[in-house]
Amino acid sequence: MGRSERSLGEVREMFAEACKAAAAWLAKTPASADGHGWILLPDGADDAVKEAASWLNGYEAIVQVGIGGSALGNLMLNQAMLGDYFNEHGATPRFYMADNPDPTKALAIWERVRNGSVALVGVSKSGATAETMSQFLWFRKQMSEAGHDVNGDTLVITDPENGVFRAFAKETGCRSLDFPPSVGGRYSVLSSAGLTCACALGIDIDGLLLGARRMRDELFRLGSIESNPAWTASALHCFHEESGRPMSVVMPYSSRLACFAEWYAQLWGESLGKRGKGTTPVRALGAVDQHSQVQLYTEGPDDKLFTIINLKRHGASVTVPECGEKSLEPLSYMRSADIGRMLGLEAMSTAAAIARAGKPVIWMDVERLDAETLGALIFYYEYVTAITGRMMGVNPFDQPGVEQGKRYTYGLMGRAGYEGDAKEAMEWFGRLNSELVTL
């Protein structure tokens, strides 16, 4: 596709009416409509979530099983609010996420929790996700054989009325919480699915929701593309997709936001990638990926829109000390430098280098990373994603491609009613088989 260049003002003018129409659609559609329930999540967690969190807080360890939106949101909250080494601080409960059904990982988690009190939390809207349920059954068996009160130590977060998990909760009497029926998994981090374990670990969920609520109210109040930053972002993404830049790179300059980029990748990719539309989300982390990706970003194909997220205040200060060794004198320019400030300067340098190469960059300043700010950032990206999907002409709340893969998995594993899917999957795989290389 030929490259089309426009100024920010021209892009805003081109997409002003489309943004306004998409925002009106989002505002007028009832929250009870399929996929739209996330709009109301910032209004507050119910008492059942906090009561379940208080119960979980009494355990030495929590093992949550889930995948996709039932895992990435929790990992993002934990890293951003608690850091990477929370489990090593001696505080309880420790938290482990069993997401990918990798036997090595499952065994490693069990070895770390088997000798103490452990709660098993299963998160699945349907209770039918193979990756989640296979691990749920395995951990449940390990707990039973180790003498745990397997039903008393289990919480499931699932559809309020239907599905395997709901039937399981009724049969066993284990604890359960409702997964909001009109909220999709990738939009669920501010629901019971994301907040329950977060609250148990001491994360300020009221602060998260307050930040999200304030962001929601502000975005719905701002009615022009010049004043609304989310509308501008959506317009830029649509423009660059149409101009032949099919990738969206999000690069936060904070280790605490590495999992945020992972969470964004699912939100963006699963919401927009339909009917030949959408842009591929690319996760990057500053400054790490300055040494692995920025060469490609500056001198590789002009096929990406970049967003640099700069954390202005990192909290604790770490400064470079003076050194007496003569061999280290070339490093004297760093003497007494604050490493957090240096990271911010590296963010500026990367943005400048990409811009100098003629590539488009969105710069986002985040004043600090606390619960309120993170909640606002979460809602902002959910809103931008929904608006962008509407402007691209796709439903930002379904995932038909994912569902087909699930059906193939069910069939190949022998689930009744999916025999035709198993046959079809084998036929398609058979077409590839002659070209496969086994290592």
What residues are annotated to the active site?
Answer: 270, 291, 406
Residue among 242, 267, 223, 262 at smallest CA distance from 380 = 267
If DSSP states are collapsed to H, E and C, what string results for 409-435?
Answer: HHHHCCCCCCHHHHHHHHHHHHHHHCC
Q: How far apart are CA 385 and CA 191, in angstroms?
A: 18
Q: Is the distance from CB of 86 to CB of 201 less than 8 angstroms? A: yes
DSSP single-letter state for residue 46: -
Residue among 325, 306, 236 at smallest CA distance from 16 = 236
Alpha helices in 300-399 (DSSP H): 339-356, 371-392
Query: What are residue 130's phi and psi, to 5 degrees?
Result: -60, -45
The CA-based angle 362-393-375, given to 5 degrees, is 45
> What residues does 304 pair with on adjacent strands?
247
Beta-carbon contacts of 153 under 8 Å, excluding residues fewer than 6 positions away, are 59, 117, 118, 119, 120, 143
Residue among 59, 40, 183 at smallest CA distance from 123 = 183
> 108-121 burial by CB neighbour count: b if 16+ within 10 A, else e?
ebbeebeeeebbbb
DSSP labels, 127-142: S--HHHHHHHHHHHHH
